């Protein structure tokens, strides 16, 4: 979902960008303090020091603002989603970190733990959760086909993505594991999460046996 723009100023206008940045930053700060469900438009405009009508020039409600506020971080996150193809599984010669990009995926969540815990948790935003899932699935779909197409194009638009069960599976698994980890207070380090998660993802991509389960994908 994209942000509503009722303002007469062009979308690229600096004033529009500054206002949206101020509103998004205000929400990010607030969501570190309390659950998203407890944040009102009045709270946001008070923190951003703008009037209520200005808020509605750009967003319909707090949930739409939350989606916009997390989009830039999510897009950074998408850049480190590992490919389904084992050839693109980002092998590492380092015994300490078997997959640096996957570790970066978990480190990103840890860095913004308060925000993601609130947005993706049980009292968070269903729209944000769906946005994260679709963007991650699109990234997994794109990366899975890079070897065949040798394309360097941007991540596929989720709206245009065909039904890709493996990509959807990996997206759901990654987001589910990360969300569970956040809700538990990140008891393991990002590297430890990589060591536990990577064998499972490679097994899925290779159609092999999931280690320790006796189950073949």
Q: Tell me the per-residue pLDDT of 150-201, one tens digit each, with 9 for 90 and over.
A: 443 445 566 677 787 877 888 888 889 999 999 999 999 999 998 999 888 7
Instruction: Count Cβ atoms below 10 Å from residue 24 Cβ, excluding itself.
Output: 22
Residues 85 and 19 in one domain: no
Residue in 96, 120, 110 with CA at minimum distance from that of residue 36: 120
Query: For the chain, how big is the Rg over CA atoms in Å?
Result: 19
Q: Tell me the per-residue pLDDT of 175-184, one tens digit each, with 9 for 90 and over.
A: 899 999 999 9
Instruction: Count Cβ atoms below 10 Å from residue 139 Cβ, excluding itself.
Output: 28
User: Could you give the residue ranges of the DSSP H alpha helices within the chain?
Assistant: 14-31, 41-48, 52-58, 62-78, 100-111, 113-120, 126-144, 146-149, 165-183, 190-206
Residues 157 and 182 in one domain: yes
Which range of 15-19, 27-31, 48-52, 136-140 scores highest in mean pLDDT? It is 48-52
- The residue range of the domain holding 29 is 14-60
Distance CA 162, CA 157 (A): 10
Residues 110 and 41 in one domain: no
Residues 84 and 102 in one domain: yes
This model's pTM is above 0.75: no
Is residue 1 one of the residues assigned to a domain? no
For residue 44, what is the domain's CATH number? 1.10.10.60
Backbone angles phi, psi at 186, to 5 degrees: 55, 60
> Are 45 and 51 in contact, with CB atoms under 8 Å apart?
yes
> Are 156 and 142 in contact, with CB atoms under 8 Å apart?
yes
């Amino acid at each position: 979902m994209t942000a509503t723009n009722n303002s007469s100023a062009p979308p690229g206008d600096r004033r529009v960008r500054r206002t949206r940045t101020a509103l998004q930053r205000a929400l990010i700060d607030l969501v570190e303090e309390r659950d998203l469900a407890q944040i009102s438009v009045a709270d946001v405009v008070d923190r951003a020091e703008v009037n209520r009508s200005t808020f509605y020039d750009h967003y319909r409600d707090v949930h739409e603002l939350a989606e916009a506020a997390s989009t830039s971080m999510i897009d950074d996150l998408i850049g480190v989603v590992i490919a389904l193809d084992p050839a693109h599984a980002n092998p590492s010669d380092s015994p300490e970190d078997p997959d640096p990009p996957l570790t970066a995926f978990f480190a990103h969540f840890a860095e913004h733990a308060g925000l993601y815990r609130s947005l993706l948790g049980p009292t968070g935003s269903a729209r944000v959760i769906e946005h994260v899932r679709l963007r991650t699935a699109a990234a997994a779909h794109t990366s899975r086909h890079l070897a065949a197409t040798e394309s360097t194009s941007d991540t596929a638009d989720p709206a245009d993505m065909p039904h890709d069960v493996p990509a959807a599976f990996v997206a759901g698994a990654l987001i589910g594991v990360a969300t569970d980890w956040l809700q538990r207070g990140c008891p393991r380090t990002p590297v430890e999460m990589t060591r536990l998660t990577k064998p499972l993802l490679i097994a899925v991509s290779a159609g092999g046996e999931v280690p320790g389960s006796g189950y073949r994908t």
